[in-house]
Structure 1
């Protein structure tokens, strides 16, 4: 027989916490059918699906909350889902690791609560897709150009040849600073040339900092879908112009990570 005290304790007991949540990849219009083979985040390999509300949809999948998100495989799956959708439709990428408690929370706390914001952002990005163009200087072409173009650099460099490192320390520092400043200016000029050449086909650009010694530039471009072939052909032409100097790398189509409207 259950006593009153036991019944009171059972009533006050907290419900068990759920071991699963809903991972949200991105927001898009609801009139879209997802591919069947999208690789979802999580150990259970649950399918990616859409949950809709008044013309909007969120791409979601169920995830196990007993293990932390954030592995390289998780990030790859997150980007693969978004970029696969972006190849065909405009999608607003959510921050990596966005998890809510339930499908109802996706509708009530995300789609309904931010409906106007999402609609406006989708309209602003409609008809575009992101590509990223990277450039790498071949065989230190940028350094050779700096030496050839700047007599002061060339003369200082020649004057230090054969000088013991400890004897020319200050001058070597000055030479390094001069070359570094010249390389920064050259990278900026080359990025600007890229942007100008692609400007007829893009709706926006975002220049990223580069870290490698031979990196020339890394520029995100918001490309009009209807002009994608023209964009790629123009980029091929620029690549031929820079043959032997800069090697270009095109990544995309991607979700518009760099062009989400600020609200």
Structure 2
């Protein structure tokens, strides 16, 4: 299980997900990617998933990317609504006729969230695919009203360990989605909420991926950790260009053995945890977005 928080308004989408995977045996890994950036000529989206972390020896993120690249995007021709339906059909086939058939229905629980800017005007849309009821993936669309005023055109959503994100916290995040507020404020608040929950819930990890998607731009990835880490972990990416060609990156990481790539967050004027003597704001503090 995991915890993913998603917040969006007309200008940006923010997704924060922990990287921990667990099983009946306990914690399997603290470094599994659960965030994918998806782009077609008709949409820009952030995807996240909770539930089944691995299918056989393959992490679920790689299976989702494989289905997108080999089947879904070409069949859907990049159309946002069709992408959702085709991904659901591909997952159904995977579990009924492919490698996933070895799992009992009750062990196949998987939920995929897709939050996107679609069309020429970049309208905000959200869709879910889940098979937790009966084993068949069913698409559910949850879209804000197109004619809503800017301060009401918002999405705040939780996946996985949803009980760890209460209504008061949701309203606090929604306040930060007000027009003119920076995306980094939403990102930092949601990262703080998940990191705090990691202290009390063993199925929620303290290592996090953050993604900020500004309309019309590439996503800004971030990695949050509670300890000094020589490795920076990014999210995955699948891009389909107008000519039908595709590009994908998966499990991207950057390692520097000489000094930490990522450090715990502290006050901006405090000494940087990396130990080089500089202030945090002058060293490892994430850049404004």
Question: TM-score, with normalisation over the residues of structure 1?
Answer: 0.22
Return the structure number with greater helix share.
1
Could you state the TM-score of these two structures normalised by the residue count of structure 2? 0.21
Structure with the higher fraction of residues in strand conformation: 2
Q: Which of structures 1 and 2 has the bigger CA Rg?
A: 1
